[in-house]
Each structure stands twice: as C-alpha cells, then as structure tokens.
C-alpha cells in the first residue's frame, strides 16, 4: 500500500481547524455589553455589580494595566433554540496561547453568586441544557486587565510590572460577546480526533496500531460532509468507535492524573491579583467537579485557601463542600510553595506547621505529601523537616529543567543530611501544566526512567502559573485514554492514591543522597537583595520575639503575643514563595515586600523591646544589660540570657611599611595594603596565614551578566570569562572606636560607589566587613573574593538544621554545574586541623573554586560571595539603590566556630537599661547542640516548646536545663503534637539528658508546674 500518512495528517489538521471546531457553535446572536471601570484598586463585588455602566462594543479597546472593568452582558435566548444547549461565549480579547498571563474574568449572577472564571482556554458559560427559549440572560464579569509581561519576545524590559509606572493605555480589544448553540456531538468529535491524531503521531511508523488509527481517521473524514458538519458528526464518530474502544496493553504505563492549577502566589502579578486568580480558578474547578464525576482536583498552598476564605467567602463555601466530598484535595501541607534553598531552619519548619495546621483546622485533613512542583531546587536538610512535620512523600517537577545533567530517577528515596529518607516522585510528563495532549502522555511513558520495576507516574493536569486549572477538554481526553491501545492509561486520582500505589510497587526504590540541585536559575540566590535581607532579618527577629516573649511570660506574666506572632509568621512565610524570595517577580511585588518587611521589623522589635524591658527590672537604673539572643554564650552572657558586661581591651592599629595599615588584636593580625585589600590575615595562635600567597582578599569583582534567557533567574557559566577587579581607591582611612580598630575604604566604579569598614574587635578572632554599595549598574554581577591558602576537596555551607558539603573541584559534569550555590549563614573550608569560615548577615549565593599555584605548588581555594546583580526583566530597576551587607572572615574556625559566628552576625546584641540579670529559660551544656526555637506552645496552654538540633555533623550528648519548674515532658512533631513511638527523654532534676545523631532535630514540649 502506498504511504499516504502525510496526506491524511495534513487533511486532519485542516478539517479540524477550518470546519469541525467552528461547527461546535453553529449559530450565535450578539449580547448587549456595558462596562463600568472601577477606579483604583479592585472593589467589593456588590460595588462592582452596582457600578454605573456605559455601552461598549465588540472591537473596542478596554483595560488600563492592572485595572478592573465590570462588564454587564445581557440578551435573550432565541425561541428557535428551544430544547438545545446554549452557552455564552465571552472573549475579553484573549490570546489562547497565554492562559494565566493576560486578562482574566470572574462571572457573577446578578445576586453576586460566582459562576466560573474566564481565561484564554475557558471562555464559555453554560446558559441552559436544554433551554426553553426566550430566557433573559444577565451576567456580570469582573475583568482584570493584567498586562502581558512575558510576551512572545520574552525577557524584554518593561515598565508594565508596576502600577506606578505602567501608564493607562488600554491593553485589550473586546473580541466576542455572544449567545451560541453548543453542539455536543461535534465537540465530542473534536476530542475523538485530537486524541487519536495526537496518539497516532507518537506511535512507531512500522507498527500496525498507527495505521489502524490513520485508516479510521480517514474513514471518519470521508463520512463528514464539510457543508453539514453538524448533521454528519455522528456518522464520523461511528467510524472511530472501534479504535477508541480497543483497550490498552496490560504493560502500558499508568498515569495518575491530578487536576491542578499551579498558581504562583506572586510573580508577573502582585499579591492582590493572586487573590482574584485563586477565586477564578477555584470557581471553575468546583463547577467542573459538579459536572464530571470522575474528576479530582488538588490545590496546594494554605495561604491561597485562606485568601479565598477572607476575600471570597461565597467561593470558599463551594470549595469547602468539594473538599468534604473528597474531590477537591488540599495538598502539600505548606503555607506556600516556598523556595527551599534560602529559608532558614525555623522558617522551613513553620511552612509545614502553618500549612498543615490550616488544613487540619479547616478540613480535618492531614497531608502526607509535600507538593513543590515549581521550586528551584531542594536543600539537603528538607527530608528531615518533611518527616518531622508528619509527612512522608515529596512531589517535584522543576528538576527536569536542569540544563546539564539528566536526573537518573523519576521515583526514588531522597536522603537528607541526617539520614532521613523521603519517598519522592518527579513526574516524567515533565510539566506541572499537563493538558492531556497525546505528545505529553506519550512523553511520560517513554521518559519514565524506572521501567521494569515501576509502572506508575503522576501528571498534574491543568493550566497553571497564572491559574486557570483543568478544562472540560482535558477531562474528555483523559476519559478516552483511560484504556486505549498504544497509549499510557490515564485515571483521575488523588495524590494519596498515587503515592500509595507507587510506594507499594517500588519498595526498594533507589536512593539519592544530598541536595536536589537545579542546574538552572542559580541567580535567584542573589537577585533583589533587599527582599532577601528582609527575609533573613525577619527570621531572626521572629526568633528573638518568641524567645524573649516566652521568657518574660514565664518569669513576669508578660502577655505572650500569640495572635501577632501567628500573623507575622504567615506574612514572612508568604514572602518565601518561590518567585518572591528568589527575586524573580515584577517590581510591584518587591516594592511592596520592602514595605512589608519594614513593618514586620517594627512590630517584632516592639515585641522584643517590651519583653526585654519587662525582664530588665528597673529600667531607670544606671546599669546596662546586654541581651544575648544567640544560641551560644557571648561576652560572658549566656545564650538566651542577659547580664551586665564590661568592654574588653582594644586592638592595635599601625601603618604598614609598604603602604596601608596593620590591625592586631592579639588573636589576628590583618594587613590591608594601599589598595584597601586584605593581603594577610594571620592566625597568631596557630601561626597560620589565611590569604593565599600573592593574592588579596575582600577583592570586589564585577562581571558582565547577560544570560541567554530568564534574566532575573539565571547566571550562565560564561559570565566568568570576563572580570574586572575593583582596585581603584578613593579613600583609605584608619578608624578606632570603642576598643575596635579598623579602616574605612571608599571606591567609585561605573555609576556606583562602595564604602567598606573593616574592623577587628577586642577578643574576637574574626575580621568584620561592613559593605555599603550605592548600586547603579546594569546587567552586572558584583562579587567579593577571598582566596584562601587551604587545600580542600570539599567545603561546607549551612543549610536547614545543619550543613552540606560540596566539591571544590569539577571532576564531573554534576560538580561543574554547581558553579553558583546556596549557603545560609556560613561557608566553611578546612584542612585537617585548621579551617576558615566566611559568615554573612543576608547573602546566599556564592561560588568556590580551587587552583594550584605555580610559585609553591600549593592550593588556593577561593570563596566568593555574591552581592548584587542588575537584570532588567521582570523588574528593570532590580537592585538599584543603596545596600548594606555584613560579612566576617574567621580564620582558624572549626565548623562549630562557623555556626557560632553565623548566629552572632545575624543576632546582634541588644543593650537595655536595667538592674536585673536574666537567666535563660533553657540552657544546653554542649555548644554542638543549637537551640533553634524557644516559644510558648501555639495552643496557648502555657507549655514551653524547645527545638534543638546537632549542628556539627557528629554525635552529641547534652543536658538541656530548664529555668522554670518542670511539669510533663513530651517529644513532639513540628506541630507540637506527641510524637508516636518517641522515647521520653531522661529527666535530670530541672532538665533532661539527650543524645542526638548527626544533625538530628528534636522538638520538646515542657509543661509548667
């Protein structure tokens, strides 16, 4: 037989596009349309419904950027349509290729009841099935004219990302406002042909099934009268019935489809718009659930449920009913789908505490899975946190975006730094926006790396990013692929159903140890420095506020601010969303974030100040108390306590013979040359030089930074090919202050200016570096380099509840791909017996490289911290302005020293007038054990909750002492619930004895007698 495949395939495409799809709506009549443009920000529904609308016509422009227009559409169903199905077609000017990224609408009835959302792939509203004829139709549309930020030519700088700069030019043209007959038979023919045509393209040419489908499609097209598609659609469908009824092979890959609409809590739209996106999407999904009995929809992010509850209670009522029916599934158990690289230990724990507690309180649902399809890589400390929250599974997708190395598994056990393993699935469909295309389903089956030992994968199905969710077309396609020869099988199932089956069939899944590093989006560790600083400072202020408020509550009856702390935690957690904290959102989002963090700081400082004054005794006394919020003794003041202190002896400041200055405090001798660079940092006790021979530390370096795409997200490896050392000097001034000695350095470069203060403090074996940058560069990357005279094949960087090792070399492509990585408070490099730490107060990105010197064959290990970038998309003013960073170089540091100094720089001492020393509420007698939280229990019982972990990577025995009379004691999970099977710690007077594994995390709940 002659090969006529291309002829039939081309015929199918043209007939579908030009004849069959248009025949889905064979008749239509126009609706009357009026519009009211809401002034300013969105208005309540009642106000929008009552707005004074004026006529507007199809073809008219509408919608200033970020504006809201209330359309009122009305008409009468023709009497001739009686007995037929009628829908309203409401096209606001959509581009079907941009669901979630442009204008959207929510349809209401005149009484304010929400009907469904409108988006580029969902433009219909059912009027009746059947209609009686003559019905009056009146609908209201709350339409958001969100501008297109990510256009067909992506990553072009735009001022549309902030309402303050976006202007008032109308963004859209009203396209279609009609009542139309809906021909369900033709619509089903479209689904039949799309499923079979897409499947056919994926099958091998030499296989019989492909030819069976080709011939059936040909017969169906022959049976179709192109001048009477509606009259002959049934005959065409009959020709396809047999091939659609042929069941799948028993060995077919099995896909659990989960309805999904990954909605970014902010990204190319502000937080306030996400509230409406969630309302639109959930309105659609609850309506779809009523129409489709097999459909299951899952939505993560407790914050998004809370938004609907607060802002759209009428929508929330429908959601809550669908949840109770078991078909609308709250998934993930986190407050938001957060970044997991940068959030600190407690913050990452609280994502689960607040997320899971919301789902328990609202729905009585306990989540077993963490759901993070779009997060930009996963820190190695996360498995223990997931388990400590009472969960056991993880789903992610983004690792499929890695540019260099293909991840070797789709289902596996992920092992974290403490040895905890979490059963993890990484869907082979390679998208969290699966639309049930044949190519997607076939890709999942072909791509699945665990064939032969596992058969199941999951497909999150629905339009996402900007929302929209699953469509009736996706459900129709899935129904045809439930069992279809040549295709993977598709069945709607909950995440729990999927994970239960997947874990049961794969009991010996392979193990991946350590971080799940995304080989992409590395620059998100640096972009939008002020957002990152706001996060870091908020995390540490929350620690202080909880600890001092709890101490004051126990000691003085101070009113513990349960409600305030709960609200502030949720605000901070929201801003850890994976497009806010990473710096990849529009200008509006980061402008608001800066204001929010300032308000958070003011409120938390107020709590701390009030609690400390309650503890300090007579604040009119002449004495001054030093409050130590860090988890280690500092200056003689115990961790979590306060005492009067005296200043230590000062250091020496002398001119350097070759130019510059020498700083010496008896522990360190630091030489700063005439360029203002650190050419020596000598550890006097160890008689060991820190800076590599012939090199200079604290060297600021600037690179061009224009990645191939994803400007705010990416830094490509070629950025290193060009570097400029900033050595020109405007000022080098010696400084003495309060026993400290240092130098002030000023440099101008490009359109920017940097001022640094390098300081040695009394009794401290560290060089403090305070950097202020007035940054006005474009598409540049600023780093600070520290070339160290250390031979090391690996280095440690802090992560949640511990640290993680990465290679300093590039033996493999996996190691080479980690050319920019994340740390929390420290990076530590070590030879046996001697190491160096570089600690920071607000930076995350860094790189570590090694070279061998020609002069002495020694190894130079260079640590560089990333300070600032200047991408122009999606915020053209990213990082412009004044910034302040604090770092410290700590020669001779052990890992324990790195942990201690990291906390010190992030938790500065506070001085309060008073005459009463404050004993800590809890104490530990082993510095390797860090107390990460001291607080009162969230249930307002008055119990004291203490969380602690082993911080050095070794075994630790510790006595935890309590500065109050102990009652009951119980080990708990992160939600402060008794931990099943946990051993009750051994009591020892006013404390307990504990033994911790490396990096083990423990939460204890102490009753008070």
Q: Active-site positions?
A: 374
The SS3 of residue 685 is coil
Question: Based on the number of CB atoms within 10 Å of its own CB, is 82 exposed (0-12), middle (13-18) or buried (19 or more)?
Answer: middle
The SS3 of residue 56 is coil
Question: Based on the number of CB atoms within 10 Å of its own CB, is 18 exposed (0-12), middle (13-18) or buried (19 or more)?
Answer: exposed
- Nearest Cα neighbor of 392 from 416, 357, 420, 422 is 422
How many other C-beta atoms lie within 10 A of the C-beta of residue 19? Answer: 16
In contact, 924 and 633? CB cutoff 8 Å = no
> Hey, what are 588's tokens?
């509006």
What is d(CA 871, CA 777) in angstroms, rounded to the nearest whole number? 10
> Hey, what are 529's tokens?
């420095």
Q: Which residues pair with 128 in a beta bridge?
A: 86
Write out the H or E segment, with its range, that includes residue 613: helix 587-615
Interacting residues of 523 by C-beta distance below 8 A, sequence separation 6+: 705, 707, 712, 713, 714, 715, 781, 820, 845, 869, 871
- Nearest Cα neighbor of 584 from 326, 392, 869, 792 is 869
> Hey, what are 562's tokens?
């349960």
Interacting residues of 998 by C-beta distance below 8 A, sequence separation 6+: 417, 418, 419, 802, 950, 952, 953, 954, 955
What is d(CA 541, CA 602) in angstroms, rounded to the nearest whole number? 10
> Hey, what are 540's tokens?
């540490």
In contact, 415 and 511? CB cutoff 8 Å = yes
How many other C-beta atoms lie within 10 A of the C-beta of residue 567? Answer: 12
What is d(CA 339, CA 348) in angstroms, rounded to the nearest whole number? 9
In contact, 1004 and 992? CB cutoff 8 Å = yes
Q: Which residues pair with 961 in a beta bridge?
A: 923, 991
| Count of H-run helices and E-run strands, the chain | 18, 53
Rounded to 5°, angle at Cα 658 from 655 and 660: 45
R_g over Cα of the chain: 31
E strand residue ranges, 582-651: 624-627, 642-643
How many other C-beta atoms lie within 10 A of the C-beta of residue 812? Answer: 10
> Hey, what are 399's tokens?
């690792």
In contact, 591 and 533? CB cutoff 8 Å = no
DSSP-assigned states of every residue in 448-478: -TTTTT--EEEEEESB-BB--B--HHHHHHH
Q: What is the DSSP letter of 579?
A: T
Question: At how many degrees (to 10) do helices 562-574 and 302-311 cross?
Answer: 110
Q: Which residues pair with 87 in a beta bridge?
A: 126, 180
Backbone angles phi, psi at 238, to 5 degrees: -60, -35
In contact, 877 and 164? CB cutoff 8 Å = no
Distances, alpha carbon 928 to alpha carbons 625, 958, 1003, in Å: 26, 9, 16
């Amino acid at each position: 037989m002659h090969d006529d495949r291309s002829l039939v395939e081309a015929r199918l495409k043209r007939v579908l596009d030009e004849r069959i799809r248009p025949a889905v709506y064979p008749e239509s009549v126009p609706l009357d349309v009026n519009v009211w443009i809401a002034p300013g920000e969105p208005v309540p529904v009642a106000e929008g419904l009552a707005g004074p609308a004026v006529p507007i016509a199809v073809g008219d422009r509408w919608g200033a950027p970020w504006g809201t227009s209330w359309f009122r559409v009305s008409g009468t169903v023709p009497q001739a349509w009686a007995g037929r199905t009628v829908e309203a077609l409401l096209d606001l000017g959509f581009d079907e290729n941009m669901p979630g990224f442009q204008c959207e609408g929510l349809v209401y009835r005149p009484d304010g009841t929400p009907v469904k959302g409108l988006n580029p792939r969902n433009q219909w509203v059912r009027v009746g099935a059947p209609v009686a004829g003559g019905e009056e139709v009146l609908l209201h549309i709350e339409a958001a004219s969100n501008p297109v930020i990510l256009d067909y030519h992506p990553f072009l700088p735009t001022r549309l990302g902030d309402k303050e700069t976006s202007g008032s030019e109308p963004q859209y043209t009203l396209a279609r406002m009609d009542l139309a007959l809906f021909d369900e038979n033709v619509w089903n023919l479209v689904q039949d042909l799309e499923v079979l045509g897409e499947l056919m393209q994926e099958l091998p040419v030499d296989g019989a099934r492909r030819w069976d489908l080709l011939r059936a499609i040909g017969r169906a097209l022959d049976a179709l009268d192109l001048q009477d598609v509606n009259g002959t659609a049934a005959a065409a469908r009959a020709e396809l019935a047999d091939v659609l009824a042929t069941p799948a092979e028993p060995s077919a890959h099995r896909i659990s489809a989960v309805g999904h609409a990954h909605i970014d809590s902010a990204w190319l739209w502000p937080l306030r718009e996400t509230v409406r996106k969630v309302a639109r999407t959930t309105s659609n999904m609850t309506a779809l659930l009523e129409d489709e009995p097999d459909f299951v929809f899952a939505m993560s992010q407790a914050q998004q449920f809370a938004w609907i509850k607060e802002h759209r209670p009428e929508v929330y009522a429908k959601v809550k009913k669908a949840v109770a029916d078991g078909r609308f599934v709250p998934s993930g158990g986190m407050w938001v789908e957060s970044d997991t690289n940068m959030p600190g230990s407690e913050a990452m724990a609280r994502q689960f505490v607040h997320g899971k507690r919301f789902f328990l309180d609202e729905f009585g649902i306990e989540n077993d899975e963490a759901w993070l399809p779009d997060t930009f890589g996963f820190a190695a400390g996360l498995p223990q946190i997931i388990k400590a929250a009472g969960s056991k599974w993880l789903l992610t997708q983004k690792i499929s975006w890695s540019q260099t190395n293909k991840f070797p598994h789709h289902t596996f056990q992920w092992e974290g730094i403490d040895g905890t393993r979490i059963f993890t699935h990484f869907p082979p469909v390679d998208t969290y926006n699966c639309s049930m295309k044949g190519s997607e389903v076939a890709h999942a089956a072909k791509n699945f790396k665990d064939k032969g030992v596992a058969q199941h994968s999951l497909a999150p199905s629905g339009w996402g990013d900007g929302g929209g969710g699953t469509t009736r077309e996706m459900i129709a396609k899935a129904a045809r692929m439930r069992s279809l020869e040549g295709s993977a099988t598709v069945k709607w199932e909950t995440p729990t159903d999927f994970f239960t089956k997947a874990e049961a069939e794969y009991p010996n899944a392979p193990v991946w140890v350590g971080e799940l590093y995304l080989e992409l989006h590395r620059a998100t560790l640096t972009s939008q420095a002020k957002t990152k600083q706001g996060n870091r400072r908020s995390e540490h202020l929350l620690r202080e506020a909880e600890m001092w408020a709890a101490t004051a509550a126990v000691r003085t009856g101070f009113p513990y601010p349960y409600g305030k702390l709960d609200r502030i935690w949720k605000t901070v957690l929201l801003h850890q969303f994976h497009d806010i904290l990473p710096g990849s959102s529009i200008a509006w989002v980061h402008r608001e974030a800066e204001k929010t963090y300032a308000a958070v700081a003011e409120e938390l400082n107020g709590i701390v100040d009030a609690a400390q004054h309650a503890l300090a005794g007579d604040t009119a006394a002449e004495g001054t108390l030093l409050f130590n919020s860090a988890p280690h003794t500092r200056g003689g003041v115990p961790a979590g306590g306060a005492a009067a202190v005296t200043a230590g002896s000062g250091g020496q400041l002398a001119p350097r013979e070759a130019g510059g200055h020498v700083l010496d405090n008896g522990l360190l001798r630091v030489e700063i040359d005439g360029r203002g660079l650190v050419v020596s940092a000598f550890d006097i006790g160890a008689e060991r030089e820190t800076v590599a021979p012939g090199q200079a530390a604290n060297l600021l370096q600037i690179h061009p930074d224009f990645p191939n795409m994803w400007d705010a997200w990416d830094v490509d490896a070629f950025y290193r090919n060009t570097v400029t050392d900033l050595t020109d000097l405007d000022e080098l001034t010696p400084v003495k202050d309060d026993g400290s000695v240092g130098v002030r350095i000023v440099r101008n470069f490009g359109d920017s200016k940097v001022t640094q203060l390098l300081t040695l403090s009394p009794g401290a074996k560290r060089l403090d570096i305070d950097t202020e940058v007035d940054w006005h560069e474009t598409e540049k990357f600023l780093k600070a380099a520290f070339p160290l005279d250390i031979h090391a094949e690996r280095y440690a960087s802090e992560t949640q509840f511990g640290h993680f090792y990465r290679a300093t070399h590039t033996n493999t492509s996996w190691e080479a791909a980690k050319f920019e990585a994340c740390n929390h408070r420290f990076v530590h490099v070590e030879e046996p017996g001697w190491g160096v730490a570089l600690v920071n107060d607000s930076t995350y990105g860094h790189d570590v490289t090694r070279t061998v010197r020609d002069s002495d064959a020694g190894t130079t290990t260079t640590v560089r911290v990333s300070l600032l970038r200047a991408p122009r998309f999606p915020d053209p003013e990213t990082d412009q302005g004044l910034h302040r960073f604090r770092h410290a170089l700590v020669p001779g540091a052990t890992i324990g020293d790195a942990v201690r100094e990291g906390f010190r720089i992030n938790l500065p001492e506070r001085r309060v007038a008073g005459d009463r020393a404050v004993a800590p509420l809890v104490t530990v007698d082993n510095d390797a054990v860090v107390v990460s939280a001291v607080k009162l229990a969230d249930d307002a019982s008055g119990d004291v909750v203490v969380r602690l972990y082993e911080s050095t990577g070794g075994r630790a025995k510790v006595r935890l002492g309590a500065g109050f009379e102990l009652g009951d004691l119980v080990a708990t999970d992160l939600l402060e619930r008794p931990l099943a099977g946990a051993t009750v710690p051994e009591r020892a007077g006013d404390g307990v004895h504990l033994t911790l594994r490396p990096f083990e995390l423990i939460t204890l709940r102490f009753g008070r007698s």
